[in-house]
Amino acid sequence: MSKTPIRVGIIGVHPDKGWATIAHIPALAQLPEFRLTAISHNRPDVAKAAAEKYGVPHALGSADELIGHPEVDLVVISVKVTHHRELVEKAVAAGKAVFSEWPLGMNLADATAMRDLARDKGVATSIGLQTRAVPAFAYIKDLIAEGYLGEVLSATMVGSGITFGESMSETFAYTLDPSKGVGMQNVVFAHSIDGLTDMLASRFETVTGNLATRRKTTRIEETGEILPMTVPDQLVVNGTLENGTVVAAHFRGGLSRGTNFRIEINGTKGDLILTSPVGYVGIGGFTLMGATGDETLHELEIPGRYGADRFAEGPSQSVATAYLRLAADIKDGTHTSPDFDDAVALHRLIDAIETSGGKPRKL
């Protein structure tokens, strides 16, 4: 295994805001396996300010410059999904490994085309489904594999859509366009259901989806403008996994005064309950409760080896752990990090949910 750090270039970095700034850059700063060598923004002055702030050698004014830069091995795409396909295709053509934020594409066809192109070119890929690396999720996966629950019977998940409530930031107004593929079912729910099915080590065999828009409008927080709610703010999903586990999930737009996130997994031998006051699984704040055999339900401490010993809780924690898995995959040829095949599988699930019309769909 080579000791040379993987050189990373991130497309879409602002010095003061954005997912790259609050998650990717802090994550990479803690990992000697990587070296952040270049960042780009479509405004050169913004790229320069970000590079100076974070000590990055190369500030570039276009994605093309970053993709073609000789000191970039891994291209990280951290911009709106509307630009993903164009950038992925350019990075693949340049023979660079690619890490794309989720969603991979605006729809299943987009995602499949990108996956197929990368496969044909033999390019290593990774998708930003870092929920799998959240310490609580990774620990539950191991508990289940070790038999804590016995045979898993069912799993129930309740979550919050956060931005699809009575108000949203102007930054997220573009998510109200259903053609962009960034609605509640595409992002917050998709991250959560991917983490759940990874814990259960099985994908959906059949699924039924019911989507509804209950709020008629939403308010832009910065301006007070009232916009029509043109995407679903209610999502109910039921299905059966390939291993027989029955799954039920309900996501609601906005935030709840009650439960914002809860997973309950029931088995023949035990039960596990994971809760968080935050609707988005990438932020943290989890409490894990469990009982097996004759035990009564009690809190389970999540061992530090799942990431907490090395990385502080917050958006960068699971991203850092995901990068560690990716480093091993690139250097050792393993497959511990989700790739574009996993992205297409998740896109296929979301497409089935959106088009099921309340009737069971086989995947």
Task: For residue range 295-349, list pLDDT tens digits in order.
Answer: 999 999 999 999 888 888 888 999 999 999 999 998 888 899 999 999 999 999 9
pTM > 0.75: yes
pLDDT of residue 220: 97
* Residue 321 resides in a domain: no
159 and 279 Cβ atoms separated by less than 8 Å: yes
Whether 231 and 115 map to the same domain: the answer is no
Q: Is the same domain home to 117 and 142?
A: no
Average pLDDT over the chain reads 95
Give the pLDDT score at 196: 98
Q: Is the pLDDT of residue 110 over 70?
A: yes
Residue 141 included in any domain: yes
Note the pLDDT of residue 182: 97
Q: Predicted confidence band at 19 (pLDDT cuts at 50, 70, 90)?
A: very high
Region 267-289 average pLDDT: 91
Asked if the structure places residue 322 within a domain, the reply is no
Are residues 153 and 186 both part of a single domain? yes
* Number of domains observed in the structure of the chain: 2
Over residues 282-290, the mean pLDDT reads 88
Task: Looking at the structure, tell me whether residues 200 and 347 fall in a common domain.
Answer: yes
163 and 120, same structural domain? Answer: no
113, 168: one domain: no
Distance CA 349, CA 362 (A): 10
**Domain range spanning residue 24?**
6-128+327-332
pLDDT digits (tens, 9 = 90+) for 167-194: 999 999 999 999 999 999 999 999 999 9
Strand 167-168 versus strand 217-220 pairing type: parallel
Over residues 119-132, the mean pLDDT reads: 96
Report if residue 232 sits inside a domain. yes
Q: What are the angstrom distances between the C-alpha of 211 and each of 183, 231, 236, 268, 356?
A: 11, 9, 7, 32, 10
Q: Which of 203, 247, 210, 208 is nearest to 345 (CA)?
A: 203
Contact between 188 and 159 under an 8 Å Cβ cutoff? The reply is yes
Residues 115 and 170 in one domain: no
Enumerate the β-bridge partners of residue 130.
none
Per the CB < 8 A criterion, the answer to whether 362 and 206 are in contact is: yes
Alpha-carbon gap, residue 130 to 132, rounded angstroms: 5
pLDDT of residue 2: 57
Give the confidence band of 283 by pLDDT, cuts at 50, 70, 90. Answer: confident
CATH number of the domain bearing residue 288? 3.30.360.10
Kindly state whether residue 147 falls inside one of the protein's structural domains: yes
Please say if the pLDDT value at position 28 is more than 80: yes
Same domain, 270 and 353: yes
| All residues at 6 or more sequence positions from 55 whose CB lies less than 8 Å from its CB, including other chains | none
CATH number of the CATH domain containing 23: 3.40.50.720
Residue 115 resides in a domain: yes
Q: Domain check: are 57 and 148 in the same one? A: no
Please check whether residues 122 and 200 belong to one and the same domain: no
1: in domain: no
Same domain, 108 and 144: no
pLDDT tops 50 at residue 1: no
Task: Report the chain's terminal Cα–Cα distance, integer Å.
Answer: 38
What is the Cα–Cα distance from 74 to 189, expressed in whole angstroms? 28
The full DSSP string for 99-138 is EEESSSSSSHHHHHHHHHHHHHHT--EEEE-GGGGSHHHH
Q: Which residue has the higher pLDDT, 93 or 308?
A: 93
Residue 345 Cα distances to 78, 104, 181, 197, angstroms? 21, 11, 15, 12
Round to whole Å and give the CA distance between 297 and 89: 50
Q: Are residues 57 and 164 located together in one domain of the fold? A: no
Residue 317 forms part of a structural domain: no
Note the pLDDT tens digit of each residue in 78-87.
999 999 999 9
Is the pLDDT score of 3 beyond 80?
Answer: no
Angle, in degrees to the nearest 10, between helices 188-199 and 340-355: 110
Q: Give the model confidence (pLDDT) of 192-210 as tens digits.
A: 999 999 999 999 999 999 9
Identify the band that residue 280 occupies on the pLDDT scale cut at 50, 70 and 90: confident
